[in-house]
């Protein structure tokens, strides 16, 4: 099996998504050195506030992987990253288990134009992987209302204003009485997106609300990443027209 994979890597030119090396055996996306680095990174989950849990810190490797998940059409990376996260079995998993059960993982919805472009919502795939790991459920309880225009030139406050009100609830008629809601996204930057999602549940919402993301981007680097991210989203949309 390893032999065939090595041959396939050679024939099809598959490269490690972390370092670009194609001479090593991949698992199927990372070479052994990058796979080991990913496991090390997951021993440093982040808790940007008391309601938010992030599986990995933003590092060059994790940045490349989340970029590949979003822009290189590799949806399988979502469950791969959750399975490789020791935080899901460790600190983050413990935080989730301490919440009222069952857990309802609610993905941040993607705008339909981006969904068409990408073919999948990475937040939904992450929610599914988290639900599998913790015995929870995926619930599409939010909808995106307005198209959030490119935010690259906006300040933090303006970005929060822009995304606030972008989500509306899409609950079942008969709301469940127990459990906890975990809003799932790929990257926690300023927290504006997930805060807008939590606000959409309304002040009367009775269940505990938490946030779980794949990566945490520290505010000092988040502005540049956010700009690059929006630009890439925007470029992707433009190229379709």
* Residue 67: CB minimum distance to Zn ion, A: 15
Does the CA dihedral 81-116-232-153 come out positive or negative? negative
What residues have CB less than 8 Å from 161, skipping those under 6 apart? none
* Residue 33: CB minimum distance to Zn ion, A: 5
Choice between 34 and 99, CB closer to Zn ion? 34
* Residue 213: CB minimum distance to Zn ion, A: 24
* Residue 25: CB minimum distance to Zn ion, A: 11
Are the C-beta atoms of 27 and 189 separated by less than 8 Å?
no
Choice between 56 and 104, CB closer to Zn ion? 56
What residues have CB less than 8 Å from 26, skipping those under 6 apart? 5, 9, 14, 16
Are the C-beta atoms of 45 and 53 separated by less than 8 Å?
yes
Choice between 22 and 101, CB closer to Zn ion? 22
The alpha carbon of residue 207 and the mean position of all alpha carbons in its chain are separated, in whole angstroms, by: 22
Are the C-beta atoms of 87 and 45 separated by less than 8 Å?
yes
Choice between 9 and 213, CB closer to Zn ion? 9
Choice between 65 and 130, CB closer to Zn ion? 65
Which positions touch Zn ion (CB under 5 A)? 16, 18-19, 31, 34
* Residue 37: CB minimum distance to Zn ion, A: 8
């Amino acid at each position: 099996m390893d032999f065939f994979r090595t041959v396939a890597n050679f024939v099809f030119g598959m490269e490690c998504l972390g370092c670009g090396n194609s001479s090593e055996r991949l698992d199927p996306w990372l070479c052994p050195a990058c796979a080991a680095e990913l496991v090390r990174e997951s021993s440093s989950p982040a808790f940007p506030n008391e309601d938010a849990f992030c599986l990995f810190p933003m590092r060059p490797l994790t940045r490349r992987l989340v970029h590949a998940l979003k822009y290189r059409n590799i949806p399988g990376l979502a469950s791969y990253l959750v399975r490789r996260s020791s935080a899901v079995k460790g600190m983050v998993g413990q935080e989730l288990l301490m919440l009222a059960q069952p857990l309802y993982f609610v993905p941040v919805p993607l705008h339909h134009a981006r969904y068409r472009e990408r073919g999948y919502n990475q937040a939904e795939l992450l929610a599914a992987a988290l639900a599998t790991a913790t015995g929870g459920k995926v619930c599409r309880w939010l909808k995106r209302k307005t198209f959030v225009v490119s935010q690259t030139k906006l300040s933090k406050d303006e970005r929060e204003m822009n995304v606030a009100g972008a989500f509306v609830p899409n609950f079942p008629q008969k709301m469940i009485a127990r459990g906890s809601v975990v809003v799932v996204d790929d990257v926690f930057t300023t927290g504006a997106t997930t805060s807008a999602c939590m606000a959409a549940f309304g002040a009367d919402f009775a269940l505990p609300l938490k946030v779980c993301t794949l990566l945490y981007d520290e505010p000092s680097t988040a502005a540049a990443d956010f700009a690059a991210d929006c630009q890439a989203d925007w470029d992707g949309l433009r190229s379709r027209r």
